[in-house]
Amino acid sequence: MKRIAIIANCDKPDAPSVLRRLEAGAKKVGIELLTCDAASNFLSCGKELDCESMLGRAEAVIALGGDGTLLRAAKMLNGADIPILGINLGNLGFMTSVPEDKLEQTLKALSRDEFTSTYRTMLECQVEVEGEVEEVFHALNDVVIGWGESSRIITLDVSVRGENVITSMCDGLIVSTPTGSTGHSMSAGGPIIHPETAAFAINMICPHTLSNRPLVVPDSCPIEIGVSSASKSVLLAVDGQDCQRLNQGDMIRIRKSERTLNLLHLPEYSYFEILKHKLHWRGSVM
């Protein structure tokens, strides 16, 4: 790879110094850096392009920041089949799995095409108001329904493949991809799903019952969520970025997206080692 786009969170304290290291390392291995945002202010060779021109020339994208930066980069791709590699400048960075101290090693690997890649499933979310499609979103991580203008509970009707599964009084609901299963869904008690699993997780947020459990369904099954009762406006969040207000009677239809995301890793990458290191996933102490 010889042309790489940089999408960076320049609000990170270490971002300027890391970008300068990135520039020096790229020069050594013959990689041209492209940017369309504030990162160009810290790169002497960086020419700021519009997003379309940058992605049209790039062979890969480096997302420099945290998982939020990688999600922003995925949204900017808008379905384009350009691989992304995440370099972590934050504390957790589950998807941005490459630590900042391996930056130079990463550039060498990219210049030699020495990496592994996985195509991550995405989901498509349609919002219907009075029977008409109002918005269509694509998510790499999750779709979350909840919060809003008060702490009052709402009632959601959930169907899978046209069959009613549950009507739940709750604070909200999360539908996550395998990639997103280690995010908000896991924090709400949901399962960890290996990223190569063809499934979605449905996880209620604070359901008003003692018997509720998260549900894992094939990603070939369409999911429908109806807001059957709500005394407030409810927020819909897609990958923690796009938000829309929902009201009683609105319908959310979720299915597997035709889009995927090509995520790059260094050759030594291990999903289970990341679980152990980042999330402190442990077995019994012997």
Beta bridge partner(s), residue 227: 156
**277: helix, coil or strand?**
helix
CA gap 10, 36 in Å, rounded = 12
Residue pair 123/254 in contact (Cβ under 8 Å)? The answer is yes
Q: Which CATH code, of 3.40.30.10, 2.130.10.30, 3.40.50.10330, 3.40.50.300, is assigned to 3-115+266-279? A: 3.40.50.10330
Beta bridge partner(s), residue 239: none
Burial per residue of 211-234, b for 16 or more beta-carbon CB atoms within 10 angstroms, e otherwise: eeebbbbebebebbbbbbebebbb
For position 40, what pLDDT does the model report? 85
Nearest partner of 93 among 72, 71, 67, 73, judged by Cα:
67
CA distances from 103 to 19, 43, 176, 177, 247 (A): 10, 16, 30, 28, 46
Residue pair 192/182 in contact (Cβ under 8 Å)? The answer is yes
For position 189, what pLDDT does the model report? 93
> Angle CA(265)–CA(218)–CA(248) in degrees, nearest 5?
105
Other CB atoms closer than 10 Å to residue 19's CB: what's the count? 24
The active-site residue out of 67, 171, 239, 250 is: 67
Instruction: Determine whether 67 is an active site residue.
Output: yes
Per-residue pLDDT of the chain (286 residues; tens, 9 = 90+): 899 999 999 998 889 999 999 999 999 999 999 988 788 888 886 566 788 888 999 999 999 999 999 999 999 999 999 999 999 987 777 888 898 889 999 999 999 999 999 999 999 999 999 999 999 999 999 999 987 777 788 999 999 999 999 999 999 999 999 999 999 999 999 999 999 999 999 999 999 988 889 999 999 999 999 999 887 778 999 998 878 899 899 999 999 999 999 999 999 999 999 898 888 888 776 5
CA gap 262, 142 in Å, rounded = 17
DSSP H stretches of helix in the chain = 15-29, 51-57, 67-77, 103-111, 184-187, 271-279
For position 231, what pLDDT does the model report? 79
Q: Which CATH class is domain 122-259?
A: mainly beta
**What predicted TM-score, i.e. pTM, was given to this entire model?**
0.91
* Structural domain boundaries in the chain: 3-115+266-279, 122-259
